[in-house]
Structure 1
Amino acid sequence: MAISNPFRYPPTDNRLPRLLLAVILACPPGLALASEPRFTPTDILNWEKEVFEGETQYEPVEIDGREALHASCDNSASGLYLKKTIDLERTPILEWSWRVDETFSGIDETTRAGDDYPARVYVVKDGGLLRWRTRAINYVWASEKPEGADWPNAYASQARMLAVRSGAPDETGQWVTERRNVREDFRQLHDREIDTIDAVAIMTDCDDTERTIEAWYGKIRFLPE
């Protein structure tokens, strides 16, 4: 797939700004998903793949009595994404579940050297012909940044990071369900009023820190407010 990427900083850097996962490409016009779009771990596994450095392994598993997508990362960075218009006027609430047993230590997530996350779920608003207007929000399970913190991505400032969770849980094996109002988050983080998004993605990456990490993803769905 040909990549036309205006968010490469500096211009000579041959790395794609990972947060956008190539979904900044023109998304073909299409109908919004039906009300309450829902994606099972098996659905997510069949999303398009984007590989940056090595390949994070994603496989369906059953754990804790539930279906999940297991992400296993070994000095790698690759993600899964779906390019699809989702109507935020009808379903602005993004809900997902995830599990992380450990996080990274001693990293600065605001730098490229520390731009690794055990788990992230993110949404993208495509800028169309105006590529520089593309915006993304990464909902991340942070390692060092405190819960609730937000900051520009180290590779592409058009993507904002939001620490929904931070640090390893007190007990391993704990699933957490999150809910975010995507319209409100775009308003607060990007000062944008939007009615739709054009893509949703997940990624577990550990190539910048050259370490290993794993995570589990459950269902992802969009709900009415």
Structure 2
Amino acid sequence: MTPVTSPRSPRLLAAGFALLLAGCASAPVPPGISDSPWAIQSGTAASDAGPWTHKPLPGKAATRFQYERHLGRDAVAVQADASASLLRQSLRIEPQQLGQVRFSWKVSALIAGADLASRDKADAPVRIVLAFEGDRSRFSPRDAALSELVRALTGEEMPYATLMYVWCNQRAPGTVIRNTRTDRIRKLVVESGPGSLNRWLDYERDIRADYERAFGEPPGALVGVALMTDTDNTQSLAEAWYGPVRFLPASR
């Protein structure tokens, strides 16, 4: 097996880097975020959480992240200009402790021409990305090759599964979209169309139920979370704001 020399490796590697949420090889966090009120409000006492860090993607321009107060809320303001990168945090929440995740976002405009189910148009104005442990021996040959490639080139492990909460241009909330390059990324639509633009939207999601809906099996430990706004496929501009991301313990 020679995945590094495969003509499809650059695209597979890009998909693999989008999964790298739990490792430590990252660029410095943008100034003002790590000690901001936004960061202090994010996370959970039940997790072993690390600092927020910026993860550029190979061959991609970096999205800009910065802290600001926006319409009375502590937020991370994001600007993407034909770019893709992640603001991520490593943490650990065991399966039996998984409860709800609360998050909020505000989007000024959808990305014209974007289609999360299309290989070459899969951009999104906002994503909340969750990474999970699991049994890697269950990887398909394609995903196993991708995992080996990512480990060899980065020294980081690819999570077993990645669940993304996304805003889709056209698909209805509740739709699950499988990534076209790896079965280990699945996107759950929680907002659709232009009807809710230009205002803060708040969500509380049951992590276990959403994972089982997307992957058809119980989740492993949650080991990473990230924000991602990307416009590299459509070569366009996008701006968005994210409120704090909070993890609540499972109900007793």
TM range (shorter): 0.7 to 0.9
Question: Residue 125 of structure 2: which of 118, 131, 136 is its match?
Answer: 118
Shift in Å, 1:145: 2.2
Question: What is aligned with 2:152?
Answer: none
Paired with 2:228 and 2:16, the residues of 1 have a C-alpha distance of 9
Paired with 1:9 and 1:183, the residues of 2 have a C-alpha distance of 37
Question: What is aligned with 1:202?
Answer: 227
Instruction: Say which one has the larger Rg.
Output: 2
- Please give the secondary structure, in 2, of the residue aligned with 1:103: coil
- 1:78 and 2:103 correspond: no
Identity between Structure 1 and Structure 2 (%) = 26
Q: After the TM superposition, which residues 68-217 of structure 1 pair with which residues of structure 2 at under 5 Å, given as runs?
A: 68-127=75-134, 130=137, 132=139, 134-170=160-196, 172=198, 174-194=199-219, 196-217=221-242
Kept after mapping to 2: 8 A contact 1:102/1:167: no
Kept after mapping to 2: 8 A contact 1:118/1:204: yes
Question: What is aligned with 2:146?
Answer: none
User: How many residues are paired up?
Assistant: 206
Instruction: Evaluate the alpha carbon distance shift between residue 187 and residue 91 of structure 1 in structure 2; reply closer, same or farther with a 3 A threshold.
Output: closer
Kept after mapping to 2: 8 A contact 1:20/1:124: no
Question: What is aligned with 1:47?
Answer: 52
Instruction: Evaluate the alpha carbon distance shift between residue 9 and residue 188 of structure 1 in structure 2; reply closer, same or farther with a 3 A threshold.
Output: farther
Paired with 1:181 and 1:99, the residues of 2 have a C-alpha distance of 21
Give the number of the structure whose residues are more often strand, by fraction: 1
Question: What is aligned with 2:246?
Answer: 221
Shift in Å, 1:136: 1.0
Shift in Å, 1:105: 2.6
- Please give the secondary structure, in 1, of the residue aligned with 2:126: strand
Shift in Å, 1:51: 1.2
Shift in Å, 1:122: 1.4
Q: Deviations over 1:138-165 (max 9, x none)?
A: 0001122222211101232211111101
Superposition TM-score, scaled by structure 2 size: 0.72
Paired with 1:100 and 1:134, the residues of 2 have a C-alpha distance of 30
5+ unaligned residues in a row in structure 2: which ranges?
A: 25-35, 43-50, 140-158
Paired with 2:226 and 2:127, the residues of 1 have a C-alpha distance of 8
Q: Deviations over 1:73-120 (max 9, x none)?
A: 000000111121113433410110111121123333211211100000
Shift in Å, 1:204: 0.5
Report which stretch shifted further, 46-55 or 113-122: 46-55
- Structure 2 residue identity aligned to 1:13: R
Give the number of the structure whose residues are more often helix, by fraction: 2
Paired with 1:152 and 1:140, the residues of 2 have a C-alpha distance of 12
Alignment RMSD, CA only?
2.9
Shift in Å, 1:62: 0.8
Kept after mapping to 2: 8 A contact 1:99/1:215: yes
- Structure 2 residue identity aligned to 1:134: Y
- Please give the secondary structure, in 2, of the residue aligned with 1:183: helix
Kept after mapping to 1: 8 A contact 2:104/2:243: yes
